């Protein structure tokens, strides 16, 4: 093991997770494969995150504090300072199982240093009960990921040269989908190697930001996501006419978000845009459910 050039750099972006990050760090330190460094990128926390991190004495842990810029910027900040051959972006409220890095190293060896790989994961409640397992990856992922982001950020490993060339979008409007945008760009360029052995857990809790996004922010986020992907010639060439269906499905997601607030005018407006983009979208369950919600009193 060479401390200045480990196999893995675990980049942990965090913001006000002092009450959770200790468990995350302990789970990383419990790895069976030990050739790694941890870069905690504190994205402007105002709680006791710094004290919690600095209480760990392990020399593999490096703490950085920066001005708040959201997760994409924090991950890019960590990538620029990482020494590992592979980078793993791990959320500060989630947990690694002891086999996480060992399974990744096994794939790296078998696949001859691939650009991009992903490991299976589960979801659990705060009490530790597992509620769902995502371990059904196959070679159809390139087509599936445009419509459903099955990849966990925790499960993705990027070779360092790839991570430094293909960065996360730093515009905070895209926050919570900046990883999805990057995965789409990457699967259009590189083969995704994967394992269905579960190695990490996404811990669902009330403060998880994905659960608290207002409808108008969702719309702004996904419109930027669509705009960014349209500008990528490789993405557009890869998906061709399927991209219209993807855009229409995002519009039906807007419809669903708005229908919960009974905003009938905007539901119908986005429904019309969805139909004009991809007429067959009227058969989708989400389109029909949103229209039903907007009609009922």
- Tokens representing 184 are 């789409």
The tally of CA atoms less than 13 A away on the side-chain side of residue 102 is 13
| CA 90 – CA 92 distance, rounded (Å) | 6
Q: What pLDDT is recorded for position 212?
A: 64
Q: What pLDDT is recorded for position 291?
A: 85
Place of tokens 């009960």: 129
Residue 122 phi/psi, 5-degree rounding, is -130, 175
The tally of CA atoms less than 13 A away on the side-chain side of residue 60 is 23
Contact 185, 234 (CB under 8 A): yes
DSSP string, the chain: --TTS-SEEEEEEESS-TTTHHHHHHHHHT-SS--EEEEEEE-S--SSHHHHHHT---TTEEEEE----HHHHHHHHHHHH--SSEEEE--TT-EE-TTHHHHHHHHHHHTTS-SEEEEEEEEEETTS-EEEEE----TTHHHHTTT-----GGGEEEEHHHHHHSPPP--GGGTTTHHHHHHHHHHTTS--EEEEEEEEEEEE-TT-GGGS--HHHHHHHHHHHHHHHHT-HHHHHHHTTHHHHHHHHHHHHHHHHHHTTT-HHHHHHHHHHHHHH-GGGGGSHHHHHHHHHHH--
- Tokens representing 68 are 């708040």
Q: What pLDDT is recorded for position 90?
A: 98
| CA 273 – CA 244 distance, rounded (Å) | 11
- Tokens representing 21 are 């990050």
| CA 216 – CA 186 distance, rounded (Å) | 28
Question: Of the candidates 53, 26, 29, which has an alpha carbon nearest to the alpha carbon of residue 41?
Answer: 53
Handedness of CA 141, 76, 121, 246 (dihedral sign): negative
Q: What pLDDT is recorded for position 112?
A: 97
What pTM value is reported for the model? Answer: 0.94
Q: Beta 156-159 vs 95-96: how paired, if at all?
A: unpaired
Q: What pLDDT is recorded for position 120?
A: 98
Q: How many CB atoms lie under 10 A from the CB of residue 270? A: 25
For domain 8-207, is the CATH number 3.10.290.10? no
pLDDT 10s per residue in the chain (297 long)? 666 799 999 999 999 999 999 999 999 999 999 999 999 999 999 999 999 999 999 999 999 999 999 999 999 999 999 999 999 999 999 999 999 999 999 999 999 999 999 999 999 998 899 999 999 999 999 999 999 999 999 999 999 999 999 999 999 999 999 999 999 999 999 999 999 999 999 998 766 555 568 889 999 999 999 999 999 999 999 999 999 999 999 999 999 888 877 678 898 999 999 999 999 999 999 998 888 877 765
Per-domain residue ranges for the chain?
Answer: 8-207, 215-295
Q: Beta 156-159 vs 36-42: how paired, if at all?
A: unpaired
């Amino acid at each position: 093991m060479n401390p200045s050039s480990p196999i893995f750099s675990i980049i942990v972006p965090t913001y006000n997770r002092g009450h959770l990050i200790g468990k995350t760090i302990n789970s990383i330190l419990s790895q069976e494969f030990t050739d790694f460094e941890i870069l905690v990128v504190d994205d402007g926390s105002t709680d006791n995150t710094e004290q919690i991190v600095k209480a760990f004495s392990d020399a593999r842990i490096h703490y950085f504090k920066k001005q708040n810029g959201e997760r994409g910027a924090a991950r890019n900040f960590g990538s620029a300072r990482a020494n590992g051959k592979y980078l793993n972006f791990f959320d500060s409220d989630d947990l690694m199982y002891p086999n996480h890095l060992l399974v990744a190293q096994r794939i790296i060896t078998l696949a001859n240093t691939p650009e991009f790989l992903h490991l299976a994961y589960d979801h659990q409640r705060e009490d530790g009960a597992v509620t769902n397992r995502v371990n059904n990856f196959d070679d159809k992922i390139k087509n599936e990921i445009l419509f459903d982001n099955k990849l966990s950020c925790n499960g993705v490993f990027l070779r360092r040269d790839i991570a430094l060339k293909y960065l996360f979008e730093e515009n905070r409007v895209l926050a919570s989908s900046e990883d999805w945008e990057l995965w789409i760009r990457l699967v259009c360029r590189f083969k995704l190697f994967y394992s269905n052995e579960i190695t990490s857990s996404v811990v669902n809790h009330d403060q998880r930001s994905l659960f608290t996004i207002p409808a108008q922010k969702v719309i702004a986020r996904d419109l930027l996501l669509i705009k960014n992907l349209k500008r990528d010639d490789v993405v557009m060439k890869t998906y061709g006419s399927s991209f219209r269906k993807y855009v229409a499905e995002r519009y039906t997601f807007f419809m669903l978000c708005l229908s919960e607030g009974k905003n009938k005018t905007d539901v119908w407006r986005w429904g019309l845009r969805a139909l004009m983009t991809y007429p067959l979208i009227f058969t989708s369950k989400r389109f029909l459910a949103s229209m039903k919600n907007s009609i009922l009193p």
